[in-house]
Structure 1
């Protein structure tokens, strides 16, 4: 187990380093003159060549690629994301402020997704092939096919415009987060419902379960000790993928509902060529992905020790 965990940690470090290098290289070789874009975002006035050259030096764009990358990587290992090329302020306070809006929204959407999918999948598997099962699959398939931006606009039209029950724009009160969280959560629920349903049905079809019933093991014990662990492995995989869906959908949802957060933070940074801000968001996202996948890999080995045995 320790050797497997060390291998997982090594792979995580390699992925993080590769992500940091690739991100830096893409931004460094982006078309146009980043110094001019930064100067225009900073001063918003007629620019001279002297001003652009000064900005280029201040932003470190006059150095070679590897020198600039190593100068950025060193502080990054201490989670120091540097200073904004446009405002000159440290990146971390602005980034943490954006995270304060995005992470609670993502958590609320995940809770909604799990809260809807678990009972729906359980009801669907009570009678496989029945009308409730077919209806659940149809609803889940439809939910997966609906884009987040279309669903968000539909919810705004119904609950904010026609019914006037909920606010549509901003993030001033907890009520402002209901429609965005539901928009993302229903998409998560659609994917999880199908996977949980398939996992439960597959686990119930295990050949050793009839032998357990003949030995007098109760249905509750079989479901808790055998069906649930087998069904949880594919669900964990999808939960890791749903994190990607959430982070991707948050950019659109925050734009639709006019919310501050990592999405608007990233878009503003890209438009202004604020490289430290863009790099901070990408590295933070990669760190979240790697951490979640590492936790899922460890959970795999707890639920099914054979996975760790195959690695060994």
Structure 2
């Protein structure tokens, strides 16, 4: 009798393959984020370079406080000092290399480094954006538990409210709250500040539309998850409907909302700039409005690039974390 002994096939270990996939996915997203940031910087530079108005003339008018036409003899020293007379590619390279070293340029109006101007006002804007994100989730979670995955009026009302709030412009919400709660009822100050009373209305203004977006995302997943076998199994074991919704279904329904958190934080930072202008609140909003009014291009570009960088960085972190937690997401893509 001949006995054939099959040689054992080599077994591939999953962890190295998974680690390699994670590293490749992370590097791909980092490269994509760098490319998007470079594109944003380039577009910002080109837009500010082609705007009407000579930058040397604007700078001299800001310094003198007079809006008059300047002679070429007056403009020549300014053009030479700031490099406005150099070829556009040379200006672009100097601008890009300065950003790589953390130099956003000099404010034309304040005659100070743009990085210092932004650094002094960024804290109130960050506090406003983070507080609005927290409040949006505080509004979204109980509303989803009460109205999602149900039949009849509850589901209809819940969906309508989310659709309407998500479509509300932040500027309009801010003006409405200011008129009703600050001017008529006098519950809050008309001019916002960094204290609690001056922060409440701006936070609500940002949180209401965002809660509508998050509610729409979590509702769709909640409606799908509540009919899955794990929810039916939990009910068959005697768990109440409220327990199933809160302990099992909600956890799955929050995943799309968490995915939107990266977009939401970037949106809140840009929205905070408008809301701060509505409530005359300290922060990047007032700095940006003043810079646009006085055509202080270095400050405008610095704020735009900062918000873009924050948006790209947050989304990059979320993408990488998702691939690490669940590599199947990368396979699906």
**2:76 pairs with one of 35, 43, 53:** 53
Say if 2:262 and 2:315, in contact at 8 Å, map to a contact too. yes
* 2:159 aligned partner: 137
Distance 2:326 2:52 in 1: 48
Distance 1:233 1:299 in 2: 13
* 1:234 aligned partner: 256
* 2:284 aligned partner: 262
Distance 1:105 1:77 in 2: 28
> In the TM superposition, what is the alpha-carbon distance from 1:58 to its structure 2 partner?
2.8
Say if 1:106 and 1:246, in contact at 8 Å, map to a contact too. yes
1:152-163 matches, cutoff 5 A: 152-163=174-185
The answer to whether residue 107 in structure 2 is matched with residue 84 in structure 1 is yes
1:116-138 deviation line (CA, Å, top 9, x unaligned) = 1111111113x512433322222
The answer to whether residue 27 in structure 2 is matched with residue 27 in structure 1 is no
Distance 1:36 1:209 in 2: 69
Distance 2:325 2:116 in 1: 39
* 1:277 aligned partner: 299
- SS of 2:61's equivalent in the other structure is helix
The answer to whether residue 109 in structure 2 is matched with residue 120 in structure 1 is no
> In the TM superposition, what is the alpha-carbon distance from 1:167 to its structure 2 partner?
0.4
Say if 1:4 and 1:308, in contact at 8 Å, map to a contact too. yes
**1:181 pairs with one of 197, 203, 213:** 203
- SS of 1:164's equivalent in the other structure is coil
Distance 1:210 1:236 in 2: 21
The answer to whether residue 213 in structure 2 is matched with residue 191 in structure 1 is yes
Distance 1:265 1:94 in 2: 8
Say if 1:99 and 1:261, in contact at 8 Å, map to a contact too. yes
1:226-266 deviation line (CA, Å, top 9, x unaligned) = 74564333213322332343234223211211123222222
Say if 1:166 and 1:175, in contact at 8 Å, map to a contact too. yes
Say if 1:143 and 1:186, in contact at 8 Å, map to a contact too. yes
1:81-127 deviation line (CA, Å, top 9, x unaligned) = 232233321111110122122111111111111111111111113x5
TM-score, with structure 1 as normaliser: 0.88
Distance 1:210 1:257 in 2: 46
Say if 1:233 and 1:300, in contact at 8 Å, map to a contact too. no
Q: What number of residue pairs does the alignment pair up?
A: 308
The answer to whether residue 187 in structure 2 is matched with residue 165 in structure 1 is yes
1:280-307 deviation line (CA, Å, top 9, x unaligned) = 1121111111111112212332453211
**1:73 pairs with one of 96, 103, 108:** 96
1:5-55 deviation line (CA, Å, top 9, x unaligned) = 111111111111111111111111222222222222222124532333333
Say if 1:39 and 1:86, in contact at 8 Å, map to a contact too. no
* 2:87 aligned partner: 64
**2:312 pairs with one of 278, 282, 290:** 290
Distance 1:232 1:145 in 2: 21
* 2:9 aligned partner: none
Q: Which runs of 5+ in 1 are unaligned?
A: none
Distance 2:113 2:236 in 1: 65
Say if 2:147 and 2:158, in contact at 8 Å, map to a contact too. yes
Distance 2:310 2:278 in 1: 24
* 1:109 aligned partner: 132
> Is the alpha carbon distance of 1:261 and 1:210 closer, same or farther for their aligned partners in structure 2, counting shifts above 3 Å?
closer
Distance 2:165 2:37 in 1: 33
Say if 1:149 and 1:256, in contact at 8 Å, map to a contact too. yes
Q: Which has the larger radius of gyration?
A: 2
- SS of 1:79's equivalent in the other structure is coil
